[in-house]
């Protein structure tokens, strides 16, 4: 099932993708640095409200959503688009034609995100989670997306004959789900006259969980399904496991959002579907993890020489952890205590920085040398990047979770004052803010490496290294 030897075609494919994919990754790297910077500022404000205090655009309620949107739509989505185009072209052994359109779409998408983040800081936020951008910005994003998706589907349509690899299932699904999701969310909650407030809670929860589980997660999994067998030169554990994992994920993931509304203003059956789906999602998550990590069996030594593999495996491990935690938090008794607490912040950090970002880093470390024709300039910066991210995500997740547990018990005990829940959480939030600073440093390592690598194309002395050594 793995794409086998494919001599001159890959170089042709890579040459056709060089400009659009590097533009997507370049924007993504800038957004990652800006997003983690805003995260660090927001984190410090939570423990030290006087920090950078005063002007309206620096208030916590604007910085925090600006950070999340910069990371989700700027960093993760831009990087995701680059990965989608590259993987579809590689898997289908089809060069990209008319690259000017995806390049234009990349520029429009990112200018849209830029305007959106500015609008949030300037006070034009709608305050619906992940739909904070004003309507005209989400319209720009939607149109830019259509150009990218049409190109992706076009690439898939013109693929070379042969069976379709599991990565392509996920990519195709993500490309079809995202516009439906994004259009519905904006049409009902942002554009024109939004629906009555009574109907907004379930739609907003469905949307927010969909952006993660139906857009970013499938792209991240597609990357892992391609990279692990490709780098190790072996097959996935089982085709049938891939099939089961994909279809059960598609079936359950879309329903999980309602588990955030246990006790909330929605009909009871909706909450029940969310709880059941979140717990059943354990099946695809377990199956997919066995399939991915099982392919690693006996080859963990490869983690030493392949940074792509290292990041991808860290992403796959976070994937397992994120959805196990999701299933636990969907149990009504657990949710009653820990909903609204910092446990959710920890889970969000693990999804965004652990699962999605680590998986995307793995793919980018694999793709970029193939586009520039040169190995990464500095091995030690890659190590710094990996360890800063791994430690910051791990420690940050644990701190926010433990702090959230203490906070959750305080919030649900009628004998404890509200102020105590803040006091319990504060030291853990301080640690979380330090971890955000470490993420910022790690992101700068990554961005520095990326831009050095891209600029080296233009150095006259640069000689392309053999494609075999760059992993």
Query: To the nearest whole angstrom, how small is the minimum distance from the Cβ of residue 55 to another protein?
Result: 6
Which residues make Cβ contacts (< 8 Å) with residue 288, sequence separation at least 6? 221, 241, 245, 249, 319
Distance CA 42, CA 121 (A): 13
- Which two three-digit tokens encode residue 439? 């993420």
Q: Give, as ranges, the residues between 16 and 55 that touch another protein (CB under 8 A).
A: 45-47, 49-50, 53-55
For another protein, give the closer residue by CB, 103 or 337.
337
Query: To the nearest whole angstrom, how small is the minimum distance from the Cβ of residue 85 to another protein?
Result: 19
For another protein, give the closer residue by CB, 233 or 332.
332
Size of the site for another protein (CB under 8 A): 85
- Is 254 strand, coil or helix? coil
Q: Are 325 and 347 in contact (CB under 8 A)?
A: yes
Query: To the nearest whole angstrom, how small is the minimum distance from the Cβ of residue 205 to another protein?
Result: 8
The correct pick among 3, 11, 19, 60 for binding another protein (CB under 8 A) is: 60
Q: Give, as ranges, the residues between 133 and 192 that touch another protein (CB under 8 A).
A: 163-164, 166, 169, 172-173, 176-177, 180, 184, 188-189
User: Residues 355-394 vs another protein: string with x where CB under 8 A?
Assistant: ----------------------------------------
For another protein, give the closer residue by CB, 59 or 238.
59
On the 0-12 / 13-18 / 19+ scale of CB atoms within 10 A, 295 is buried
The correct pick among 233, 387, 413, 455 for binding another protein (CB under 8 A) is: 413
From the list 27-35, 296-304, 338-346, 440-448, the region that binds another protein by CB under 8 A is 338-346
Q: Give, as ranges, the residues between 94 and 123 that touch another protein (CB under 8 A).
A: 120, 123
The correct pick among 69, 77, 125, 230 for binding another protein (CB under 8 A) is: 125
**Sign of the dihedral defined by the CA atoms of residues 443, 366, 323, 125, in that order:** positive
Query: To the nearest whole angstrom, how small is the minimum distance from the Cβ of residue 123 to another protein?
Result: 4
- Which two three-digit tokens encode residue 194? 């939004």
Distance CA 193, CA 378 (A): 52
Quote the Cα angle for 414-419-421, to 5°: 70
For another protein, give the closer residue by CB, 336 or 455.
336
Q: Is 12 left (phi over 0), alpha (psi -120 to 50) or beta?
A: alpha
Residue 466 CA neighbour count, 13 Å, CB half:
2
For another protein, give the closer residue by CB, 219 or 470.
219
The correct pick among 155, 344, 399, 439 for binding another protein (CB under 8 A) is: 344
Distance CA 92, CA 155 (A): 7
Distance CA 296, CA 144 (A): 38
Alpha-carbon dihedral angle through residues 364, 224, 440, 66, given to the nearest 10 degrees: 100
The correct pick among 2, 12, 15, 61 for binding another protein (CB under 8 A) is: 61
For another protein, give the closer residue by CB, 142 or 450.
142
Q: What is the CA radius of gyration of the chain?
A: 22
Query: To the nearest whole angstrom, how small is the minimum distance from the Cβ of residue 107 to another protein?
Result: 28
Query: To the nearest whole angstrom, how small is the minimum distance from the Cβ of residue 297 to another protein?
Result: 24
For another protein, give the closer residue by CB, 24 or 142.
142
- Is 183 strand, coil or helix? helix
Query: To the nearest whole angstrom, how small is the minimum distance from the Cβ of residue 362 to another protein?
Result: 24
Residue 405 φ then ψ, to 5°:
-65, -45
Query: To the nearest whole angstrom, how small is the minimum distance from the Cβ of residue 122 to another protein?
Result: 9
Kindly state whether residue 418 participates in binding another protein, applying the rule CB under 8 A. yes
**DSSP code at position 79:** H
From the list 124-132, 223-231, 296-304, 392-400, the region that binds another protein by CB under 8 A is 124-132
Give the ranges where 233-281 is alpha helix by DSSP (H): 239-253, 268-280
For another protein, give the closer residue by CB, 14 or 132.
132
Q: Give, as ranges, the residues between 211 and 270 that touch another protein (CB under 8 A).
A: 214, 243, 247, 250-251, 254-255, 257-258, 260-267, 270
The correct pick among 192, 301, 414, 460 for binding another protein (CB under 8 A) is: 414
Which residues make Cβ contacts (< 8 Å) with residue 285, sequence separation at least 6? 249, 319, 320, 323, 324
For another protein, give the closer residue by CB, 219 or 309.
219
**How far from the centroid of its chain's Cα atoms is residue 302's Cα?**
25
From the list 293-301, 365-373, 415-423, 430-438, the region that binds another protein by CB under 8 A is 415-423
């Amino acid at each position: 099932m793995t794409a086998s030897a494919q001599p001159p075609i890959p170089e042709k494919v890579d040459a056709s993708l060089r400009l659009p994919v590097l533009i997507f990754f370049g924007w993504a790297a800038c957004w990652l640095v800006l997003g983690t910077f805003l995260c660090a500022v927001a984190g410090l404000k939570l423990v030290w409200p006087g920090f950078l205090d005063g002007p309206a655009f620096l208030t916590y309620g604007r910085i925090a959503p600006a950070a999340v949107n910069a990371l989700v739509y700027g960093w993760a989505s831009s990087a995701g688009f680059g990965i989608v185009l590259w993987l579809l072209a590689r898997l289908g052994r089809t060069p990209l034609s008319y690259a000017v359109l995806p390049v234009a779409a990349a520029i429009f998408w990112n200018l849209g995100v830029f305007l959106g983040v500015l609008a949030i800081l300037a006070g034009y936020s709608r305050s619906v989670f992940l739909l904070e951008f004003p309507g005209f910005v989400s319209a720009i994003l939607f149109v830019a997306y259509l150009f990218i998706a049409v190109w992706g589907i076009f690439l898939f349509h013109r693929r070379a004959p042969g069976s379709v690899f599991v990565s392509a299932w996920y990519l195709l699904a993500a490309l079809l789900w995202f516009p439906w999701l994004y259009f519905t969310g904006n049409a009902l909650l942002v554009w024109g006259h939004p629906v009555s407030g009574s109907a907004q809670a379930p739609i907003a929860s469905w949307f927010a969980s969909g952006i993660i589980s139906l857009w970013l997660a499938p792209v991240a999994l597609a990357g892992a399904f391609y990279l692990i067998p490709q780098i190790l030169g072996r097959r996935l554990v089982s085709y049938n496991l891939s099939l089961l994992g994909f279809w059960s994920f598609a079936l359950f993931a879309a329903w999980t959002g309602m588990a955030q509304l246990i006790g909330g203003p929605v009909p009871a059956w909706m909450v029940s579907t969310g709880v059941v789906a979140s717990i059943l999602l354990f099946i695809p998550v377990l199956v997919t993890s066995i399939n991915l990590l099982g392919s690693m069996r006996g080859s963990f030594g490869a983690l030493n020489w392949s940074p792509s593999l290292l990041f991808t495996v860290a992403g796959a491990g976070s994937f397992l952890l994120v959805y196990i935690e999701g299933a636990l938090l969907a149990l009504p008794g657990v949710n009653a205590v820990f909903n609204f607490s910092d446990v959710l912040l920890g889970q969000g950090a693990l999804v965004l920085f652990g699962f999605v970002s680590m998986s995307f880093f793995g793919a980018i470390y694999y793709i970029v040398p193939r586009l520039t024709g040169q190995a990464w300039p500095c091995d030690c910066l890659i190590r710094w990047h990996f360890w800063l991210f791994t430690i910051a995500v791990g420690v940050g997740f644990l701190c926010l979770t433990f702090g959230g547990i203490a906070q959750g018990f305080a919030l649900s005990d009628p004998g404890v004052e509200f102020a105590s829940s803040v006091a319990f959480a504060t030291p853990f939030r301080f640690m979380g803010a330090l971890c955000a600073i470490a993420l910022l440093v790690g992101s700068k390592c990554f961005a520095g490496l990326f831009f050095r690598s891209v600029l080296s194309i233009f150095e006259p002395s640069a000689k392309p290294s053999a494609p075999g050594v760059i992993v």
